Amino acid sequence: MDLTPIQQLFLKEYTDPKSEYFGNAYQSAIKAGYSEDYAKNITGQMPEWLSENLGNSKLLLKARKNLEIGLDGLLDDPEKGGKPIQAKLTEFTLKNVDRATFGDKADINIKAEVTKSGLTEEEEIKLRALIK
């Protein structure tokens, strides 16, 4: 779903832990430019764009957490409680919900992200394996 600039700003303010208004729907809505009446009721009305994006945010948080676990080798090692289904669901979620970062064309950007994040070569290999 394509979001308007005001919807994008609301979501950024509301869901970004670094935001001054993280978790505060009213203040996030006011900052984004919604009217006071709409801001007071935004989560009560739960428009489709908001519901869809909040659901995606929860999925992405879980998938990114699983990605970290996977980079530690804990999703694919049976002796460490490996969970191959969890690994596949993580892959599916990241590739389909966060396409810009993990979609089919993301491989082009991985090297730059790996360099910025400081991953070791071994971690990069595990990341590539999880994404594919």
CATH of the domain at 23: 1.10.10
Mean pLDDT (the chain, rounded): 74
84 & 129 share domain = yes
Same domain, 66 and 11: no
CB-based contacts of 101, cutoff 8 Å, min separation 6: 94, 109, 113
Task: For residues 22 and 67, state if they share a domain.
Answer: no
Same domain flag for 91 and 110 = yes
The Cα 122–Cα 85 span in angstroms is 22
Same-domain check for residues 30 and 9: yes
67 and 35 in one domain? no
Q: Are residue 62 and residue 92 in the same domain, yes or no?
A: yes
Q: How confident is the model at residue 108 (pLDDT cuts 50, 70, 90)?
A: very low
> Are 60 and 32 found together in one domain?
no
The answer on 87 and 26 residing in a single domain is no
Q: Which domain holds residue 70?
A: 53-132
Same domain, 30 and 76: no
Kindly state whether residues 65 and 39 are assigned to the same domain.
Answer: no
- Structural domain count of the chain: 2
Same domain, 72 and 131: yes
pLDDT at 16 (0 to 100): 82
Give this prediction's pTM. 0.47
> Mean pLDDT, to the nearest integer, of 85-100?
63
CB-based contacts of 119: which residues, under 8 Å, 6+ apart?
71, 127
